[in-house]
Amino acid sequence: MSTPQQSSANPGGKSGLPWKRILVKTGIVAAGVGACGAVVLGLALALAWPSLPDLHAMTDYRPRVPLRIYTADKVLIGEYGEEHRNVLRFDEIPPVMRQAVLAAEDDRFYSHGGVDWMGVARAVLTNVVKGSKSQGGSTITMQVARNFYLSSEKTYSRKLYELLLTFKIENELTKDQILELYMNQIYLGHRAYGFAAASRAYFGKPLSEVTPAEAAMLAGIPKAPSRFNPITNFPRAEIRQHYVLGRMKALGYLTPEQADEALKQRLTIRGADGTSARGFAVHGDYPSELARQLMYGVFQEETYSKGIDVYTTIDSKAQEAAYRAVRDGVMDYTRRAVYPGPEDQIDLPDGVESDAQALDEILDGVQDKTPDSEDLLAAVVLSASPTEVKVARSARDIITISDKKALAVVARALNPKASDSQRIRRGSVVYIHKTGGKDSDTWEIINMPALQAALVSMAPQDGAIRAMIGGFDYNRGNFNRVTQAWRQPGSNIKPFVYAAALERGFTPATQISDQPFMLTAAQTGSKDWQPKNDGNKYEPMLTLRQGLYRSKNMVSIRILQAISPQYAQDYLTRFGFDKSRWPAVLPLALGAGGATPLQVVNGYGVFANGGYRVTPYLVDHVTDRSGKVLMQAQPVKAGDEAARAIDPRTAWVMDDILRGVTTSGTAARAHQVLKRNDVGGKTGTTNDAVDVWFSGFTPDLATTVWMGFDQPKSLGTNEFGSGLALSTWLDYMQPVLKGMPEAKQPPRPDGLLVENGEYYFAEFPPGQAVASLDLSSGDALTDFLNNNRSTDGVDTSVKPLPSPGGAALPQNSNNSAVQPPLQPIPVPSAANVAPGGMAGVATSGLPAAGIPASGVPAAGVPASGVPASGVRATGVPAAGMPAATLPAAGSAEDAAARASAVTTSSSVIARPL
Rounding to the nearest 10 degrees, give the CA dihedral for residues 42, 47, 49, 53: -170
Cα separation, 57 vs 142, in Å, equals 16
Is 302 an active-site residue? no
Cα separation, 256 vs 248, in Å, equals 10
User: What is the DSSP code string of 625-658?
Assistant: TT--EEEEE----TT-GGGB-S-HHHHHHHHHHH
Helix ranges (H only) for 346-489 are 356-369, 404-409, 411-414, 481-484
Which is it for the CA torsion 484, 485, 491, 494, positive or negative?
Answer: positive
- ∠ CA 110-112-113 to the nearest 5 degrees? 110
Of 495, 499, 79, 582, the C-alpha closest to 284 is 79
Catalytic residue among 79, 83, 105, 503: 105
Cα separation, 657 vs 320, in Å, equals 31
Strands (E), 525-606: 541-543
Which is it for the CA torsion 143, 148, 149, 151, positive or negative?
Answer: positive
User: What is the DSSP code string of 197-258?
Assistant: HHHHHHHSS-GGG--HHHHHHHHTSTT-HHHHSTTT-HHHHHHHHHHHHHHHHHTTSS-HHH
Cα separation, 354 vs 466, in Å, equals 52
Which is it for the CA torsion 495, 498, 499, 500, positive or negative?
Answer: positive
What are the φ/ψ torsions at residue 21 (nearest 5 degrees)?
-65, -35
Catalytic residue among 457, 491, 551, 722: 491
What's the residue count for the chain? 913
Cα separation, 666 vs 179, in Å, equals 65
> Which amino acid does the sequence have at 612?
Y
> Which amino acid does the sequence have at 548?
L
CB atoms within 10 A of CB 796: 23
CB atoms within 10 A of CB 545: 22
Is 105 an active-site residue? yes
Q: Are 566 and 878 in contact (CB under 8 A)?
A: no
Q: Are 406 and 444 in contact (CB under 8 A)?
A: yes
CA distances (Å), 779 to each of 73, 237, 553, in order?
63, 82, 20
The DSSP bridge partners found for residue 428 are: 345
Q: Which residues contact 156 (CB under 8 A, 6 or more apart)?
A: 133
Of 857, 291, 248, 247, the C-alpha closest to 593 is 857
H or E, element range at 400: strand 397-401
Of 405, 451, 446, the C-alpha closest to 424 is 446
The DSSP letter of residue 292 is H
Of 595, 713, 722, 688, the C-alpha closest to 909 is 688
User: What is the DSSP code string of 456-491?
Assistant: EEE-TTT-BEEEEE-SS-GGG----HHHH--B--GG
Q: Are 168 and 144 in contact (CB under 8 A)?
A: no
The DSSP bridge partners found for residue 311 are: 70, 621
- ∠ CA 463-466-471 to the nearest 5 degrees? 110
Catalytic residue numbers read 105, 491
